[in-house]
Structure 1
Amino acid sequence: MSLKKTIKKIIKKIKIFFLKTTPNPLVGSTNEITRVVWLEKTLKNIPRGSKILDAGAGEQQFKKFCNHLEYVSQDFAQYEPEDLNYGLQMENWDYGKLDIISDIASIPVADKSFDAIMCTEVFEHIVNPREAIKEFSRILKKEGYLIITAPFCSLTHFAPYHFYTGFNLFFYETELVKNGFSIIEITPNGNFFEYLAQEIKRLPHIAKQYSKIVLTKNEINKIQEINLLLQNLSDNDSNSSELLCHGYHVLARKND
């Protein structure tokens, strides 16, 4: 065997050993947990006793962070995962008991009814999110808090109620200021490398579903190699979120 072939064989063995002994990199798997941690921290800072609206509350998963608040839930309550086999759907969905069932852009409450509003991962499911912001401005009290999270880029999900793939920070800077809000915080969730890793980790499932191809162990190992590279790039990232990220976490306050 030539020296070149021997070196290639050794390198291959080292790679296999590395893949077997290195845990799956976290890159691409922290989208949801990062958002949840941010929401918990932000909601805890809302003054005790404040009346908060969970707009587009869905299954009200963040009600647990609002025990110190007067919590009110709202949703249009029309999503049924079994209605359309298209894109990514939830296996089960239960709204529970909602306080308000209405269009998010026309909520049947008086002006200045709430001290705070949170709207998490909802904007991509609203036909006209600009109208929702206008409505939030109407029903928030002076100096009331607005908490928004939404994807920067997303796959088709919750069909047929998926109208936008995502929102850039310039959307918030334009529409919130236009509707009387001061922005306290706009934080990107993840970065370019994190987003790529998230989608690459979906590859075995997507390949099987849409190409009818089950990836081999060797192909899975190649995905692992790519994710290790992306982990290193993400660890050394310098503002690639301006190109692409999971989404933005936004905290704003009503001016008057």
Structure 2
Amino acid sequence: MGSLLEEPEFPKLISAYREALTRRYSKNNLSRYPKFSSIPEEKVDLLVRYFLELLYPEYEGRKKLDGAFTSLAGFVHSPPKVFGLLGSLSMAVFKLGRHLKSAFQAGFAALHSYVTAHRFEEIMFSKAKELLKEGNDLQNKSIFNQVLASVSKKDADEFREDILKLFATLSDKELLSKIKQLMDAVVKTMKSKPKTYTQEEVEGIMLGAGILTKGEELFAGLTREEMDLILEAIDQVEKDAFEEAIASAKGGK
């Protein structure tokens, strides 16, 4: 991940992807979906802000998060590392009872989407470099479609599914509350053992907690039906964006 951030052309891909996300969830594009017209505009704005601030921050923001992200990626790919904390956690956590296992599983599934999002960028970057060498502007919609189309359908589907898992977790208020309790306890325990856990590792977990906490407001005040409609919209819009990129790259548009 660090090597990608050090690539001089990488900021151009970040900017182009952020621009594409803004287009994707713009009022103009969403008007193509009458079914989703009842979703409050302020919730759409929150969704875009969540994408841009937490999943795809601008380059300078990404650099600041790099150390924490590397640590977070290690935890996501090695759950036993966190499970090893269980023996040291306070009894308060065990009050989660039957929710403990589901909280761990959902928390890791949700945070894995953050890792997946940036792996997705790595796949796109090789195509982006090729297009930039030819003098193309990644901000151009048709050019960016070529970048997006370079991703395999399998990778695109996995990415979309991971993003949906994250938002599904954010929409489950009870489970999200349990996850936050668990992560707070994990951070507190890690901070109490500085010889075992580095500051970067603590920041990695705190980064994950922040992703969940800040995303909670997206679904605040909504009914279950309204939440499900937002999840369906994300799924459909992301799926269509990829399919349209494929069609565009093949000259279908």
- For normalisation by structure 1, the TM-score amounts to 0.25
Which is helix-richer, 1 or 2? 2
Structure that is richer in strand per residue: 1
* Structure with larger RCO (C-alpha < 8 A, sep 6+): 2
Higher alpha-carbon Rg: 1
